[in-house]
């Protein structure tokens, strides 16, 4: 039996109750320190924040590219009418990391109440301080971490629903809506919640609660489901992406060992330095020892629905991506990309390792009591030892993953170009070709071109990715045609015929320009400096997608769902506080 924290502790009960939240907040500050202490914008690989975003058709997912950043981009377009985009992204990211730790602690308090505050602090550390968080930060998947953070909260809400207590459905509504910032995020939270809801038992029938959870999942997914249905983006995917995005073996670990240690992202450049050395083995062993200490205790509680769900999810989250990285798995994945529409969403298999986090957190928390029973001593001592082991396992996660997660500042020319481009005069084509850039002001790491999130008009992007020396084709066929016109020096009339009203040249970044100068010489230059040049194509007027109203309506449903969930949770908390003496 796990031992609760002593009621004779010198700390007031209110302080002890908030200890996991405060500890998670401290960890968040240590991880994101450079972003939280300096002004600027997150611009690292896939992460792009800009001073202001706009509600373009692309932001709504209404393009021939997959709706991967829906409703994230639309939310930023609305939020940045009130606050700076750099602040908005930093706040969302910080809240996500904080909520991940606090949510893991909350899951422990619900499932293993006798683990007490020491167990909850260990669980919070597991959720925040691990290779998955580090690698997704370095890859720039800041919004995916919102879904990662919502996962334990969604599972807690599912337990409340099973017990037929008030507040369960509002909490699940809010969790899924928060996770719904990206398609993958809502799927992560939904899988965790539905796994708990589907286990037999409880005071509410299984079909009723599963149907309710599925309905909420659909509502939280409406923005990207609607965009995909109306625009058709992302229904096809290049089979080459399966191999390019397969989980990767880290030093001395192999693929399975890397995944078991919550690492193994496909991009070898998006890993902390310690994970590219033999310390990856040491760190993984430390993490698995911390988790393994509590496995026997969880086994004794194997009839608990959350323990069962978390254990099964952890096993599948590690074994599934490992199998997908084998020859047979790669062949099966390639077949699905060619024959099953929409499976491109699943090609980055390592991201599903997030589903192991609740099980790892529960096991680590249970380990505190197990160590105390076996070796005696206060729970706080063993919790401190386990936390120290977790921190030591990944020492370079601190301070922005050794300073790599830091704000940048755009040269003034970006603001001037953004002010000059209008939405009514056609779409924007960009040179050099490709989606990724290397700028002096953002360091030597390739970053996603920030222009599409900075101007009022749609920026044409091919979606083609260069990964591990190979190429993964994107879905932007119209953008490919326009890019070919520019690189072959086509007449401006050909650009106008394709709805292109602007051409932006981003200087100083690698990439081919082909014969584009011939086209540019025939255009009116609106602005130019050492960083950017802006050209106008005459005779083009922009036409908004006929599906904008439907896409915006779907986003409104998601926003309404978020608001209703938040209000419901606050009302329930207020009601409980009124009942307490």
CA 220 to chain centre: 15
Whether residues 386 and 324 fall in one domain: yes
> For the residues 373-401, what does the mean pLDDT come to?
96
Say what the alpha-carbon torsion angle 86, 88, 94, 99 is, to the nearest 10 degrees. Answer: -160
Domain that holds residue 316: 13-403
> For the residues 357-378, what does the mean pLDDT come to?
96
In-domain check, residue 575? no
Domain's final residue, options 403, 432, 460: 403
Q: Kindly state the helix (H) or strand (E) to which residue 472 belongs, with its residue range.
A: strand 470-472
CB-based contact 51:80 (threshold 8 Å)? yes
Whether residues 427 and 396 fall in one domain: no
In-domain check, residue 64? yes
pLDDT in the model for residue 13: 62
pLDDT in the model for residue 420: 97
Q: pLDDT band at residue 469, thresholds of 50, 70 and 90? A: low
Whether residues 448 and 343 fall in one domain: no
The better pLDDT of the pair 84, 539 is held by 84
In this predicted structure, the answer to whether residue 2 has a pLDDT above a threshold of 50 is no
Whether residues 217 and 291 fall in one domain: yes
> For the residues 313-320, what does the mean pLDDT come to?
98
- Residues 186-239 have pLDDT tens digits of 999 999 999 999 999 998 899 999 999 999 999 999 999 999 999 876 667 788
Whether residues 146 and 116 fall in one domain: yes
In-domain check, residue 67? yes
Whether residues 446 and 396 fall in one domain: no
Mean pLDDT of the chain: 93
- Residues 61-87 have pLDDT tens digits of 998 888 889 999 999 999 999 999 999
Nearest C-alpha neighbor of 455 from the set 516, 527, 507, 520: 527
Whether residues 364 and 499 fall in one domain: no
In-domain check, residue 579? no
Whether residues 465 and 395 fall in one domain: no
In-domain check, residue 571? no
Domain's final residue, options 521, 536, 551: 536
Domain's final residue, options 343, 368, 403: 403
Whether residues 418 and 387 fall in one domain: no
Q: Kindly state the helix (H) or strand (E) to which residue 428 belongs, with its residue range.
A: strand 427-431
In-domain check, residue 563? no
- Residues 238-294 have pLDDT tens digits of 888 899 999 999 999 999 999 999 999 999 999 999 999 999 999 999 999 999 999
407 secondary structure, DSSP code: E
CA distance 58 to 392: 43
pLDDT in the model for residue 500: 96
- Total domain count for the chain? 2
What whole-number percentage of the chain has pLDDT above 70?
A: 96
Cβ atoms within 10 Å, residue 163: 12
CA distance 365 to 370: 9
In-domain check, residue 581? no
Whether residues 391 and 504 fall in one domain: no
Whether residues 389 and 436 fall in one domain: no
Whether residues 456 and 530 fall in one domain: yes
In-domain check, residue 336? yes
């Amino acid at each position: 039996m796990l031992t609760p924290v002593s009621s004779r502790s010198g700390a007031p009960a209110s302080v002890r109750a908030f200890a996991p939240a405060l500890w998670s907040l401290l960890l968040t500050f240590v991880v994101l320190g450079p972003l939280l202490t300096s002004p600027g914008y997150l611009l690292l690989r896939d992460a792009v924040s800009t001073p202001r975003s706009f509600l373009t058709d692309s932001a709504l997912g209404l393009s021939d590219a997959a709706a991967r950043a829906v409703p994230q981009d639309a939310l930023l377009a609305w939020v940045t009418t009130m606050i700076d985009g750099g602040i908005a992204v930093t706040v969302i990211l910080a809240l996500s990391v904080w909520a991940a730790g606090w949510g893991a602690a909350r899951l422990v308090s619900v499932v293993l109440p006798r683990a007490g505050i020491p167990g909850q602090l260990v669980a919070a550390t597991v959720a925040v301080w691990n290779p998955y968080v580090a690698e997704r930060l370095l890859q720039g998947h800041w919004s995916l971490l919102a879904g990662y953070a919502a996962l334990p909260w969604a599972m807690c809400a599912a337990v409340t629903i099973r017990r037929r207590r008030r507040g369960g459905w509002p909490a699940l509504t809010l969790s899924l809506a928060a996770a719904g910032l990206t398609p993958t995020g809502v799927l992560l939270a939904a899988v965790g919640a539905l796994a708990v809801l589907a286990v037999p038992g409880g005071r509410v029938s299984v079909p009723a609660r599963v149907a309710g959870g599925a309905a909420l999942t659909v509502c939280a997914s409406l923005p990207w489901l609607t965009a995909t249905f109306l625009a058709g983006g992302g229904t096809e995917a290049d089979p080459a992406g399966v191999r390019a995005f397969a989980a990767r073996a880290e030093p001395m670990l192999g693929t399975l060992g890397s995944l078991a240690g919550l690492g193994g992202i496909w991009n070898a450049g998006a890993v902390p330095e310690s994970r590219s050395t033999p310390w990856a083995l040491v760190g993984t062993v430390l993490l698995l020892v911390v988790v393994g200490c509590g496995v026997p205790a969880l086994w004794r509680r194997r009839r608990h629905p959350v323990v069962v769900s978390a254990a099964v999810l952890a096993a599948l989250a590690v074994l599934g991506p490992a199998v997908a990285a084998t020859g047979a798995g790669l062949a099966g994945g390639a077949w699905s990309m060619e024959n099953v529409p929409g499976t491109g969403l699943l090609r980055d298999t390592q991201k599903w390792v997030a589903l192991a986090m609740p099980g790892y957190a529960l096991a680590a928390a249970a380990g505190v009591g197990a160590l105390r029973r076996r070796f005696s001593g206060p729970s706080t001592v063993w919790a401190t030892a386990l936390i120290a082991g977790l921190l030591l396992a990944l020492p370079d996660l601190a301070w922005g993953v050794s300073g790599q997660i830091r704000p940048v500042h755009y040269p003034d020319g970006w603001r001037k170009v953004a002010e000059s481009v209008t939405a009514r005069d056609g779409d924007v084509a960009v040179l050099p070709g490709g989606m990724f850039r290397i700028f002096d002001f953002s360091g030597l790491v390739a970053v996603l071109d920030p222009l599409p999130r900075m101007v009022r008009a749609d920026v044409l992007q091919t979606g083609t990715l260069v990964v591990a020396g190979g190429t993964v084709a994107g879905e932007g066929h119209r953008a490919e045609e326009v890019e070919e016109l520019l690189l072959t020096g086509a007449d401006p009339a050909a650009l106008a015929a394709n709805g292109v009203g602007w051409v932006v040249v981003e200087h100083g970044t690698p990439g081919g320009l082909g014969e584009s100068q011939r086209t540019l010489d025939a255009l009116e230059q609106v602005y130019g400096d050492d960083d950017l040049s802006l050209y106008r194509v005459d005779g083009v007027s922009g036409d908004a997608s006929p599906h904008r109203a439907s896409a915006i309506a779907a986003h409104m449903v998601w926003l309404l769902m978020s608001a209703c969930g938040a209000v419901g949770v606050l009302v329930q908390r207020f009601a409980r506080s009124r009942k307490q003496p």
